[in-house]
Structure formats: C-alpha cells, structure tokens
Amino acid sequence: MSLGSLIKKARLAKGYTQEDLQKKSKVGKDIIGAAERGTDMPTDSQIRALAKALDLQAIELLEAKKAKSKNQKSTSKKTSTKKVESKAHL
C-alpha cells in the first residue's frame, strides 16, 4: 500500500478530516492532501508527526515512503535508458 493510501485509510478510520489531522499533527493540510494524492512526499519528521496523530508506528509510514522512493528511482532509470536508446537510433 502506498504512503498516501496508508495515511488516508488511517485518517478515515479515525473519523478525521484533513483539517483534524492537521491540527493533531501540526503538518500542513496541503502536505497531507498532496501525500494522500501521491503528488508530494512529506519529510521524515512530518511522517513521524502524522504517525503519532494517527496512532500508527512511524516505521510503517517510513517504509512506505522508502518503497515509493525506490520505485520512482527505478522508473526514472528506465525512462532515461529509453531516451538514450531512442537517440542512438537517430
């Protein structure tokens, strides 16, 4: 499960709005929303604050962040290789 999905699932299970989670975690609502949509990644300290507010183990969220970062690097390398290969054919 992605970091954003974990945050959203835990937030909804607690009955929190993004604003509620913002107040409890002191993490900006824009960061929470972007994390849930997968368009931005909170910092490790923000993840720890979110985990605490959601009664989760921070390691759960940090591992999800690490997995996403690793996946993005892998995808980026594949895209770069394809660009190099297509230029070589010119």
Residue pair 6/13 in contact (Cβ under 8 Å)? The answer is no
Q: Where are the domains of the chain?
A: 3-65
- Which tens digit of pLDDT belongs to each residue from 22-61? 999 999 999 999 999 999 999 999 999 999 999 999 898 8
Sequence-ordered list of residues with C-beta below 8 angstroms from that of 47, at least 6 positions apart, any chain: 3, 58, 61, 62, 65
Q: What does the pLDDT look like over 53-87, one tens digit per residue?
A: 999 998 988 888 887 666 665 555 554 445 445 44
CATH node for 3-65: 1.10.260.40
